Structure 1
Amino acid sequence: MTQLNRRDALKIGGAGLVTAAALPGVAHAAPSPFFRHGVASGDPLPDGVVLWTRVTPTADSLPGSGNGPRTSVTWQVATDADFRRIVRSGSSATGPERDHTVKVDVRGLAPGTAYHYRFVLDGVASPAGRTRTAPAPDADVTSLRFGVVSCSNWEAGYFASYRHLAARDDLFGVIHLGDYLYEYGTGGFPGDGGVVRQHAPAHEILTLADYRRRHALYKTDPDLQALHAARPWMVIWDDHEVANDQWSTGAENHDPATEGPYAARRAAAHRAYAEWMPVRFGPDERIYRALRFGRLADLVLLDLRSYRSKQVTGIAVDDPARTITGDAQMVWLKDELSGSRARWRLVGNSVMISPVAIGAVAADVLGPLARLLGIPSGGIAVNADQWDGYTADRRELLGHLHDNRITNTVFLTGDIHTSWANDVPLHAARYPGVPSVATEFVVPSVTSDNIDDFLKVPPRTVSLAAEAVLSATNRHVRWSELDSHGFGVLDLRRERARMDWFFLSDRTRRDATAARAATFTTASGSQRLTRSWL
């Protein structure tokens, strides 16, 4: 199979414009089919960052096809946008065995420094990206801002949230809390808006080729490409990167009788994710990890799918043998929180940790009567796929924060397609008579369906009553909004952590506007939220 030369490549055309400056031997300012899926960076360290791209060296080297030659791609990191001051460079081999993706963990960079990067194949440069290394471990950082997003379903709308974040010049990076893509076939997860744009492949994805094609589809979105190129991302997976409501050995949206062994599907999904995302993996596909930002913040990113017990309901959620983190990750998490010397401890948490109960007071108030009535310790849970379904792990973690006087812990959460600002109490049923040990910011979905979409009702109708009930029966819930789509911006300073929620005008429009809808702040040492009115 013959590799395309630059002249043939330019004849074919394709997505992505070359943005590099004029350097000898590099083509510029012309469409290139080599880099159709953009560039990305992630997991910034004080001395390094992960760089990513995907190349299409021949016309038949399409994602998931298994076709195309092995090839070598050059990468360059510079301190200037013209790439005249290149500080690191090298080459990386790729081929069909890794779906022609390129991922390089560049080291030897200076801390707290902005860099430009690009890739070059056959004299043609990729779009240029911009990234940044983390501050030095002892750096006295005064402030940081992060975009915070989750739940981006291609079929449900356009990624205008990414466009608005890419346009900002005040963000260090982006924290994506899971459901970066969805596994369903076309129409498998519709809401009020139906299918805005169709998934490819059109069927539910099961195989390695399927997952590769779905990742490739998402990375053709221009707003997603723009945000990846603009800032480093820190990502964690939730369930839809494999299948809905997954646990360690299965998933709600997987039928072994018709879809084969779950282990094979999960392995395919994880491999495609590792190939297509700018993320570091540890041994045994370990994706939970910690990133540090000077003395201002530590960020721990959790994997709440790979080790969890199967979801249950009723009093079974209190079984101490059940886990959402797995034993090893829980030990690691507690050690990270205890050992942190940063002002703020951020927890990238894919499902909500704050309890949400309805219909009954919690079992610890009723005493022995609760077990006779079958009431779980946190009350009757609304969603047992969250930490509400794993109450022993939650008690252990929150007890650890309380007993060790660990302050300034902020959970950053996605998954439920809605917006919440929560105090995280030691015992929710007795709150506010007992302390709050942390706070939680839950960001809305980028596009995925929420209350009004599921019920096919106008926004701000049914949801208003639901929000009132939630606040009345869960006194630690300071605010919730169940209808809107958008993103969050986390603003950290030594004296406080603040989240601004931004809502889109219409998820089904590429040109949707975004407006700030709410702001909540937690003062250092308080473990409680206050609202700032717009």
Structure 2
Amino acid sequence: MVALTLLALAPLALASYSSNLVYRSPSVNHPQLAIPIHRVHRRSLHSVAHHLRKRQEVPMDPLGPFPQEAAPSTGDEGYVKYAGADWSNAEYIYSGSVNFTHSVASGDPDDKSLLIWTRAEPTQIAAVDVPVCVSYAVYTTADASGTPVTSGTAYTSYDVDFTVKVEATGLNALSLYYYQFANCANSTEKSPIGRGRTAPGADTPVDQVGTQRFAVYSCSNLPFGFFNAYGGPVRKESVDYVIHLGDYIYEYKNGDYGNGTSIGRVPLPDKEIATVSDYRTRIAQYRADPDLQENHRIFSWYTIWDDHDVADQAWKAGTANTNDTAFGCSILGVCFSDRKASAVRAWHEWQPMRQIAADDKLRIWHNIEFGKLFDLSLLDTRNYDRDITDLYYDTDYIGMLSATEEARTLMGKDQEDWFYSTLDASVARGATWRIVGQQIVFGALNYTGLGTSETFDFDAWDGYRANRNRFLQHIYDNSIDNVIVLSGDSHANWVFEASLTKVLGLNSSDTRGQLVEFAGTAVSSPSPFGQTLPLNTSAIVSEFLVAANPDLLWSEGFYRGYYELHVSAQNVTANFFALPDILTRNSNEFQSGSFAVLAGTNQVQRPAGGGVVAAGALQAGGY
């Protein structure tokens, strides 16, 4: 074992543990998810005592006996751990070299603060049972020079995969900041300089908020190709923030869904992931992609998860192949509840997002008030409390439920009630727009006639029609306009106008209870009518779908990519970008479509897309 290098430090200890939010996320109140800081602190002190006694650097008597000491035990990450009682108010930290292995990231900004993130891996990792200490500082200068706006220290350890997530406070609204981490024991060892942007305050007038620009992503699957889409806005400096709608990773082993052998992108570990160690390893591998890493470094993110961040077809009590009730814990050797807890822990360790509610370990749904310009409501239509979904063997049953079960829910009652109240509050406070970020396609999409076994995707909102109708009924009854829904998951591009009047067969010219949906394609995951088909065949499928679905204005499934959402007081514009080649890392992209919604109209500006798109199919005549 490498010799343990220690550096004594005054009792910053518990404060420096507490400042690293990953110890408290996703929930300090749930032992299976939170890391008890006092135990990590005590273990660290006891480990040092054990080490010093072995080296005879301190006499044994002053330390006293160790009645609680147990033999070294190996946890699931393979590191030596010691139990025992606290013996001192002092603290020791690791004083060897540190690698900032995954650059930096920022996220979840509000008008006064920003979460900043890094990973500080010690080079003597096998010996470390004391904390790694990192300092951080936030500046207004791009080279991170001068007097910092705020600074501090934070501890990390193998308990949280050496990740560090701190809240930089005392910041000004709508401002750019630059931040950097350093090794406390050697200040010359520094992370790359990150950049982050705060949000406007809730009461900021629309003219002061101006136009806000977002890149919207979903579904990056490593073996299918390179994450070129993440590099687009970095090269163009075309956005201010990022919204990620989930499927940040995929859980499969190589070959089960995508084979990355030929392009050197075999997922690690090469198995279907199920444990904390598995999820950490997989996320770390994805985060090594240079375009994803640079996007995180340059832009502040708002992030939610989707099913593959846990496992395929996740719902509140299982996934496609892990369901404790149906299968016990025989699949992958892990109970679903444990697998989900592992995925949630790793997600919170690696994402610069806040813990939304201390007493709710799975809550990621929350609302951000972007001045008087808009509310951004981020939902969880997957993992929080949704009813059983299409698990491939129950498709007919789920189809029957979707058509008949009035209580069926995607969100669960608590989230659904909160969501409607949030929409009402947005109107009451005078916000111009209500933007809803969620995982799955909202609009009705009938595939009948394509030769598929399914007429609808019952894993999307089509499988929860009563919930969709309640949402539309609420905005209809309360005259809530300017609602824009953002969707991911489907690996294809869609623009819908979803309307209660059409659902209920009412006057179709009535745009009350109507919203516009922008659904984006994947970063790399394939569409069933996309990458595996010739371009002209994919276009024919899109033409069929827009003809068969009157609420569907644009369909495109061939290209991978992303879209940019530009929000102003007058309109919301969605510019879609396509990546022709993801089998090599490159900067090629083109704009495949552009759609605008004028404030107060609740519909896409006519003709849709200006009557012309560079890929896919529009409603006849540009509708």
TM-score normalised to structure 2 length: 0.74
Paired with 1:356 and 1:434, the residues of 2 have a C-alpha distance of 21
Question: Are 1:418 and 1:482, in contact at CA under 8 Å, matched by a contact in 2?
Answer: yes
Give the number of the structure whose alpha-carbon radius of gyration is greater. 2
User: Displacement, 1:246?
Assistant: 0.6
| SS of residue matched to 1:37 | strand
Aligned runs of 1:36-55 on 2, under 5 Å?
36-55=101-120
Q: What residue identity is the alignment partner of 1:271?
A: R
Aligned CA-pair RMSD: 2.2
* Alignment correspondent of 1:369: none
Q: Does 1:410 align with 2:484?
A: yes
| SS of residue matched to 1:35 | strand
1:146-181 superposed Cα distances (whole Å, 9 cap, x missing partner): 011110111111111111111232311000010001
| SS of residue matched to 1:251 | coil
User: Displacement, 1:258?
Assistant: 2.5
* Alignment correspondent of 2:32: none
Q: Does 1:79 align with 2:154?
A: no
Q: What residue identity is the alignment partner of 2:456?
A: V
* Alignment correspondent of 1:258: 331
Paired with 1:138 and 1:2, the residues of 2 have a C-alpha distance of 56
Question: Are 1:150 and 1:444, in contact at CA under 8 Å, matched by a contact in 2?
Answer: yes
1:63-111 superposed Cα distances (whole Å, 9 cap, x missing partner): xxx9664111101101112321311000011101111110012221111
Q: What residue identity is the alignment partner of 2:242?
A: V
* Alignment correspondent of 1:398: 472
Unaligned 5+ segments in structure 1 are 6-31, 361-379
Paired with 1:408 and 1:381, the residues of 2 have a C-alpha distance of 30
* Distance change >3 Å, CA 2–CA 84, structure 1 → 2: farther
* Distance change >3 Å, CA 4–CA 301, structure 1 → 2: farther
| SS of residue matched to 2:340 | helix
Question: Are 1:3 and 1:69, in contact at CA under 8 Å, matched by a contact in 2?
Answer: no
Question: Are 1:41 and 1:131, in contact at CA under 8 Å, matched by a contact in 2?
Answer: yes
* Alignment correspondent of 1:168: 236
Q: What residue identity is the alignment partner of 2:388?
A: K
Q: Does 1:504 align with 2:579?
A: yes
Paired with 2:501 and 2:311, the residues of 1 have a C-alpha distance of 32
User: Displacement, 1:343?
Assistant: 0.9
Question: Are 1:150 and 1:446, in contact at CA under 8 Å, matched by a contact in 2?
Answer: yes
Q: Does 1:298 align with 2:298?
A: no
Q: Does 1:342 align with 2:462?
A: no
* Alignment correspondent of 2:170: 108
Q: Does 1:444 align with 2:533?
A: no
* Alignment correspondent of 1:70: 131
Question: Which residue, out of 52, 55, 58, partners 2:123?
Answer: 58
1:424-461 superposed Cα distances (whole Å, 9 cap, x missing partner): 1114454845536110001110000113457x332331
Paired with 2:270 and 2:496, the residues of 1 have a C-alpha distance of 38
Aligned runs of 1:119-518 on 2, under 5 Å?
119-121=181-183, 122-123=186-187, 124-140=189-205, 141-190=209-258, 197-254=265-322, 256-259=329-332, 260-281=334-355, 282-283=357-358, 284-285=360-361, 286-305=363-382, 306-312=384-390, 313-318=398-403, 319-340=405-426, 341-359=430-448, 381-428=455-502, 430=505, 432-435=508-511, 437-452=514-529, 456-461=532-537, 463-518=538-593
Deviates more, 1:284-293 or 1:204-213: 284-293
* Alignment correspondent of 1:374: none
Paired with 1:177 and 1:217, the residues of 2 have a C-alpha distance of 20
* Distance change >3 Å, CA 98–CA 191, structure 1 → 2: closer
Q: What residue identity is the alignment partner of 2:294?
A: A
Question: Are 2:223 and 2:259, in contact at CA under 8 Å, matched by a contact in 1?
Answer: no
Q: What residue identity is the alignment partner of 1:391?
A: R
Deviates more, 1:498-507 or 1:132-141: 132-141
* Alignment correspondent of 1:521: 596
| SS of residue matched to 2:535 | coil
Question: Are 1:57 and 1:68, in contact at CA under 8 Å, matched by a contact in 2?
Answer: no
TM-score normalised to structure 1 length: 0.86
Question: Are 1:450 and 1:483, in contact at CA under 8 Å, matched by a contact in 2?
Answer: yes
| SS of residue matched to 2:470 | helix
Paired with 1:504 and 1:267, the residues of 2 have a C-alpha distance of 35
Paired with 1:475 and 1:181, the residues of 2 have a C-alpha distance of 34
* Distance change >3 Å, CA 428–CA 114, structure 1 → 2: same
User: Displacement, 1:217?
Assistant: 0.7
User: Displacement, 1:339?
Assistant: 0.4
| SS of residue matched to 2:280 | helix
Runs of at least 4 residues off by over 6 Å: 191-195
Paired with 1:279 and 1:489, the residues of 2 have a C-alpha distance of 21
Q: What residue identity is the alignment partner of 2:416?
A: M
Aligned residue-pair number? 484
* Distance change >3 Å, CA 153–CA 409, structure 1 → 2: same
Paired with 2:128 and 2:558, the residues of 1 have a C-alpha distance of 44
Q: What residue identity is the alignment partner of 1:202?
A: D
Question: Are 2:231 and 2:587, in contact at CA under 8 Å, matched by a contact in 1?
Answer: no
Question: Which residue, out of 130, 137, 154, partners 1:92?
Answer: 154
* Alignment correspondent of 1:22: none
Per chain length, whose mean CA-contact separation is higher, i.e. which structure has more relative contact order (CA < 8 Å, sep 6+)?
1
| SS of residue matched to 2:214 | strand
Paired with 2:109 and 2:275, the residues of 1 have a C-alpha distance of 31
Question: Are 1:432 and 1:476, in contact at CA under 8 Å, matched by a contact in 2?
Answer: no
1:293-350 superposed Cα distances (whole Å, 9 cap, x missing partner): 1111211111112211111532211312321000000011111111013111111110
Q: What residue identity is the alignment partner of 2:283?
A: H
Paired with 1:523 and 1:218, the residues of 2 have a C-alpha distance of 38
* Distance change >3 Å, CA 293–CA 450, structure 1 → 2: same
1:246-289 superposed Cα distances (whole Å, 9 cap, x missing partner): 10010004363222210000000000001111111223221111
* Distance change >3 Å, CA 395–CA 381, structure 1 → 2: farther
